[in-house]
Every structure is written in structure tokens, then in C-alpha cells.
């Protein structure tokens, strides 16, 4: 099964952030899809740290901040194929970061670009993870995109997560004020 067989869901409105939020919190995804982007306006310390890290890491990369359809890729490197690179602050949401990057690879493949792998960098902990979009990932990614479409079309705000996992979320004051 190739990616075109298994991924027939419209992705015209799905951003990389939405894919990550799907794995982090459905409520956050829903709020973001309605235009409430508290990562941009909040004084949340983690958000500020993330922005500083993004601006200062890999500053010498020439192919940075690539706008591509609905997503923005941190940087690309070119070798035997195209490699997608993302820079993240902490490994706390590693699974979300991996699927966000796999979504980017999928979008590039849809454009006929030779890309099947990438790297997530965690400069704060001097670690990185190699990511590959494998054949078995396509149905899982399709399910996630379907889930995103369902959540964002639902008129009802999804429930909160347990408070202990929310404390550093940029949406905390919205959910718990």
C-alpha cells in the first residue's frame, strides 16, 4: 500500500501544529483550530524559551523556515534525498513531534519530492532522534488526520485533561481560570 492509497483525507487545513496537538491534547487542538493560538500571545515561560531556542539554533542553516502548503518546516538538508529537520525544546512530547515530522515527510512525498526521513533536534539536552516514514505509518497517519478532521468539525469543546499534565500548557489559564 502506498501513501496515496491510504491517505485520501483532505489535508488542506491541517497544519503541523494541529498534528502535534492531536497527540498532546484534543482540547488544545480544537481551540487552536478555532483561531485561539495562545502559543503566540502568552507570556508562558516555556513558549518564550521555545521561541528563543528556535531563533538561535541552527542559525547557519541556509534552508530555514520553509513555508510549504499549510506547514512551516524548521529546515531542510539535501543529500541522497531531502531530509526534514525540526528543532524542539523538550522531549516531553516526543511522540507528537515524531508524527508532526512524519506528516511533513508525507506532504513532501505527495509533491513528488524524494523524502522519507528527517531528524528531530533537542538542543537543550543535546539529543536528536532520527525519524523515518515507513509504509506501516501511512494508515496510522491517515487515522490521525481523520481524527483531527472529526475533532475540528465537532461543535463541542473536548474535555480537559487531568490538571497535573496541564500545568505548563500555554492554554492553562483558559482552561482553569
**Which residues of the shown chain bind ligand SF4 in the complex (CB under 6 A)?**
25, 27-28, 160-161, 166, 169, 171-172, 175
Nearer to ligand SF4, 27 or 121 (CB): 27
For residue 37, the tally of other CB atoms under 10 A from its CB is: 14
* Least spacing, CB of residue 19 vs ligand SF4, in Å: 16
Nearer to ligand SF4, 123 or 158 (CB): 158
Nearer to ligand SF4, 7 or 25 (CB): 25
Task: Decide if 44 contacts 54 (C-beta within 8 A).
Answer: no
* Least spacing, CB of residue 165 vs ligand SF4, in Å: 6
Nearer to ligand SF4, 117 or 175 (CB): 175
Task: Decide if 64 contacts 54 (C-beta within 8 A).
Answer: no
Q: To 10 degrees, what angle do helices 137-153 and 94-110 make? A: 100
Contacts of 161 (CB under 8 A, 6+ apart): 25, 27
* Least spacing, CB of residue 145 vs ligand SF4, in Å: 20
Amino acid at each position: 500500500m502506498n501513501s496515496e492509497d491510504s491517505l485520501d483525507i483532505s489535508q488542506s487545513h491541517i497544519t503541523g501544529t494541529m498534528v502535534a496537538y492531536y497527540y498532546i491534547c484534543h482540547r488544545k487542538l480544537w481551540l487552536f483550530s478555532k483561531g485561539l493560538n495562545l502559543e503566540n500571545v502568552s507570556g508562558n515561560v516555556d513558549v518564550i524559551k521555545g521561541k528563543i531556542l528556535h531563533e538561535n539554533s541552527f542559525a547557519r542553516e541556509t534552508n530555514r523556515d520553509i513555508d510549504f502548503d499549510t506547514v512551516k518546516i524548521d529546515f531542510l538538508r539535501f543529500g541522497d534525498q531531502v531530509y526534514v529537520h525540526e528543532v524542539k525544546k523538550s522531549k516531553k512530547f516526543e511522540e507528537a513531534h515524531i508524527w508532526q515530522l512524519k506528516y511533513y515527510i508525507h506532504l513532501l512525498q505527495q509533491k513528488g519530492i524524494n523524502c522519507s526521513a528527517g531528524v528531530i533536534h533537542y538542543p537543550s539536552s543535546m539529543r536528536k532522534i532520527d525519524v523515518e516514514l515507513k509504509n506501516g505509518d501511512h494508515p496510522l497517519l491517515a487515522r490521525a488526520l481523520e481524527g483531527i478532521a472529526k475533532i475540528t468539525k465537532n461543535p463541542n469543546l473536548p474535555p480537559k485533561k487531568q490538571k497535573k499534565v496541564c500545568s505548563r500548557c500555554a492554554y492553562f489559564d483558559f482552561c482553569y481560570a
